[in-house]
Amino acid sequence: MDFAKFDVRKTSEDGIFVPLKHPYTGEALGDPEPGFFVRGIAARSVQSRLADMHRAAKNQAEGGEDETAVLESLHEKLIDMAMPYIIRANDQMAFDGKPLGDDPALIRAVLDTTFPDMQKVLDADGKVVMHRDSDGKDVPEFRMAVNTYAQQVISAAEDGSRFFGETPSD
């Protein structure tokens, strides 16, 4: 058996097409589908970019933030996490009349069009589900109610099975 057929590192570097879906319903956004060509997390170039991001993050001091600032920070971090995976947009994608191609500013602009939507989790009776935080306080439980474009890119890039190629048949 020639294991070159199963080289996830190579396939991850070459990339796959990831169509963008409606952030709330998961339905296709059009025909042809808009989307990005994305490298997988196993790609050597991605590992290098992620290591650079990790070093930069360690050098930043984080302070206390209010709820709005926390969501904005989460949003920016998701976009920052998605960017190293993206090779380029497909030809159907434009922003404000400009083709995206591999322009990082335009790609970021598209990723910025969706925002994390956190909603309180409700039990079967419609009451807010509570849990204790690390300080022992009862706080509401939240869930992400939207699958932002950045999250779609990250999920695809981190799903190694999408980059595996042929499945062995032994």
Q: pLDDT by residue (tens digit) across 8-47? A: 788 888 889 999 999 999 999 988 899 999 998 877 776 6
- The pTM assigned to this predicted structure is 0.75
Residue 42 within a domain: yes
52: domain range? 3-116+149-163
Specify the number of domains making up the chain.
1
Residue 130 pairs in a beta bridge with 140
Distances (CA, A) of 144 to 35, 81, 123: 22, 17, 16
| Strand blocks (E) in 1-159 | 16-19, 35-38, 86-89, 94-95, 98-99, 118-120, 130-132, 138-140, 142-144
Residue 132 within a domain: no
Q: Which long-range contacts (CB under 8 A, 24 or more apart) does 137-142 make?
A: 142/118
C-alpha 66 chain-centroid distance: 23
Structure confidence by residue, pLDDT tens digits, 60-110: 544 444 555 677 888 898 999 999 999 999 998 999 999 999 999 999 999
Residue 91 within a domain: yes
Residue 24 within a domain: yes
